[in-house]
Structure formats: structure tokens, C-alpha cells
Amino acid sequence: EVQLQACGGGLVQAGGSLRVSCVVSGFTGDSYTVGWFRQAPGKEREAVSCITQSNGRTYYADSVKGRFTISGGSAKNTVDLQMNSLKPEDTAVYYCAARFGTYLYTSDYRYWGQGTQVTVSS
């Protein structure tokens, strides 16, 4: 059974840093992709970043490029999202998700972890 457990997040001032982590279990092999999504109040959920566990290719939304870094890989069962230079508009519930496949998917994830709140004060 595939399971994802998200942790981290919290409250930080603008310009600060936070890390959210996702512990992934239940996959056999490394042919899967892990993504981070976020949903702010009143807004649709959006893809923030993802990584292919087989070869470590990454995707970032334009809004977070240069500020966020995703790390993982099949040797680790944890996928981290390091968030630097945080802005108030980064405030949202962050979710990790996983799906089979080796592409940089931004949708149609099958497995989801619980959300973790990230709040950036101005």
C-alpha cells in the first residue's frame, strides 16, 4: 500500500525559509514521480514542483523557480521541498503526492498525503 506522510511547514516571516518533507512508502522500484502541490484559500490547487525518483529530473512552477528546491531520489524515501525567500503569496496548504511513471507530471496524481500549512507573514 502506497502511503505518503507530509510534515514540516509552519509560520515564517517574508524572506524566511521553511522545509516540508514527504515520507513515501509502498512503491517497489523507482519508476514513480513525487510532486508538491499547494492550495491557498479561495484558489485552485496548483502544482509547485515534482521530481522523478528514477533519475532526479525536476520541475518547478514559474512562481517558485529560483526560490524552492526539491530533492529526493530512489535511495531516499523522503522528498524534501526547501523553500527560501518566502513571500506572503506562498501561504497555502502544501500537499505531497505520488504517481507511477517517470515523467514530470503536474496532474493526475493517484496517491496523496495529508496537507501541511505554510504561512508567510508580511
Model pLDDT for residues 13-24, shown as the tens digit of each residue: 999 999 999 999
Cα torsion at 71, 69, 108, 92 (round to 10°)?
130
Neighbouring residues of 91: CB distance < 8 A, sequence distance ≥ 6? 40, 118, 119, 120
pLDDT at position 74 is: 65
Residue-wise pLDDT tens digits, 91-116? 999 999 999 999 999 999 999 999 99
The answer to whether 8 touches 116, Cβ cutoff 8 Å, is yes
pLDDT at position 73 is: 74
The answer to whether 27 touches 85, Cβ cutoff 8 Å, is no
**Cell output for 88:** 506572503
Number of other CB atoms surrounding residue 55 within 10 Å: 10
Residue-wise pLDDT tens digits, 35-70? 999 999 999 999 999 999 999 999 999 999 999 999
